């Protein structure tokens, strides 16, 4: 069985490598996501990726993901801190998701300490830099394994 995973990146994450290099990894997004997709997990995975700077496009992609993926890994960028519309899309998607931030948002400005989606995520990873997406997938596989076991009972 191959787990279907969708990594979603929001506004400005396409600027990684150029953007605030003292805060964010210096590698481009494609390389970071590529490493997460190619990592040898304990289960086979198929990882798709979508990045957009537009809230509506992110919502459309999350709506399309309903029933099509086992797991979402979401770095919504600044939208994390205020987009109720994105929260609603994630709720409607009914697919477990990890909230991911490359930087440690809790060591930054107070407005970044607030997330409108953390309480509905199965985990939050913040400050793990380039390894963040890989760690989220490892945690997601663990969660899904537990769910499969419970179903079998």
The catalytic position among 49, 101, 113, 133 is: 101
**Integer Rg of the chain from CA:** 15
Give the count of residues interacting with ligand DQA (CB under 6 A): 10
Q: Are 6 and 63 in contact (CB under 8 A)?
A: no
**42 to 81: interface string for ligand DQA, x by CB under 6 A:** ---------------------------------x-xx-x-
Task: Record the tokens describing residue 80, joined without a space.
Answer: 């994390």
Question: How many Å apart are CA 31 and CA 49, to the nearest integer?
Answer: 12
Longest Cα–Cα distance of the chain, Å, equals: 50
Least spacing, CB of residue 15 vs ligand DQA, in Å:
9
- Measured in whole angstroms, the distance separating CA 146 from the mean position of its chain's CA atoms is 20
Q: For ligand DQA, which residue of 4, 31, 49, 112 counts as binding (CB under 6 A)? A: 112
- Between 13 and 144, whose beta carbon lies closer to ligand DQA? 13
Which of the residues 87 through 106 are near ligand DQA (CB under 6 A)? Answer: 101-103, 105
Give the count of beta carbons closer than 10 Å to the beta carbon of residue 120. 13
The catalytic residues are 24, 101
């Amino acid at each position: 069985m191959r787990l279907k995973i969708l990594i979603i990146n929001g506004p400005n994450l396409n600027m990684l490598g150029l953007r605030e290099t003292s805060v964010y990894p210096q590698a481009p997004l494609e390389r970071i996501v590529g490493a997460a997709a190619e990592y040898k997990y304990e289960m086979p995975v198929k990882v798709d990726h979508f990045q957009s700077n537009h809230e509506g496009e992110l919502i459309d992609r999350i709506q399309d993901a309903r029933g099509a993926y086992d797991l979402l890994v979401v770095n919504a960028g600044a939208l994390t801190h205020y987009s109720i519309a994105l929260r609603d899309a994630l709720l409607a998607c009914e697919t477990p998701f990890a909230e991911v931030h490359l930087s440690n948002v809790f060591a930054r400005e107070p407005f970044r300490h607030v997330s409108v989606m953390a309480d509905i995520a199965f985990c939050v990873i913040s400050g793990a830099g380039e390894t963040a997406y890989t760690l989220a997938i490892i945690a997601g596989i663990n969660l899904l394994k537990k769910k499969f076991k419970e179903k079998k009972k």
